[in-house]
């Protein structure tokens, strides 16, 4: 059962300063750092592969400028990061 669920928007605008061939990789690292700082747990973070597909959809040079994510922390301290469901 989910203990805590939140929706965040992660800004990835800092990718403009990263070399163009590393922007999608940098964006994934930035999302991991963002989630770790908000849940105060660095060990048990699981990121859904759909987020990776969204970041790489336009190639490694054109990462999106922001991405919305859903963060769920379960009772056993596992943190799941996924895309929010669209209504």
Tell me what pLDDT residue 75 has: 85
CATH number at residue 21: 3.10.440.10
- Residue pair 27/59 in contact by the 8 Å Cβ criterion: no
Q: What angle do CA 65, 27, 13 make, to 5 degrees?
A: 30
Q: Which domain holds residue 71?
A: 2-82
Specify if 87 maps to a domain.
Answer: no
Q: Please name which of 69, 36, 73, 30 lies closest in space to residue 51, comparing C-alpha atoms.
A: 69
Query: How many independent structural domains does the chain possess?
Result: 1
- pLDDT tens-digit series, residues 61-70: 998 999 999 9
| pLDDT single digits (tens) 41-63 | 778 899 999 999 999 999 989 98
Report the length, in residues, of the chain.
87
For residues 26 and 49, what is the distance between their CA atoms, to the nearest angstrom? 16
Residue 26's contacts (CB-CB under 8 Å, 6 or more residues apart) are: 15, 18, 63
């Amino acid at each position: 059962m989910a203990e805590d669920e939140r929706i965040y928007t992660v800004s990835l605008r800092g990718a403009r300063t990263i070399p163009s061939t590393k922007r999608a990789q940098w964006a994934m690292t930035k999302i991991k750092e963002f989630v770790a700082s908000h849940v105060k747990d660095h060990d048990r973070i699981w990121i859904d592969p759909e987020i990776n597909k969204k970041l790489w959809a336009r190639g490694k040079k054109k990462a999106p400028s922001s991405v919305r994510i859903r963060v769920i922390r379960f009772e056993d301290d596992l943190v799941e990061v996924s895309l929010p469901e669209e209504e």
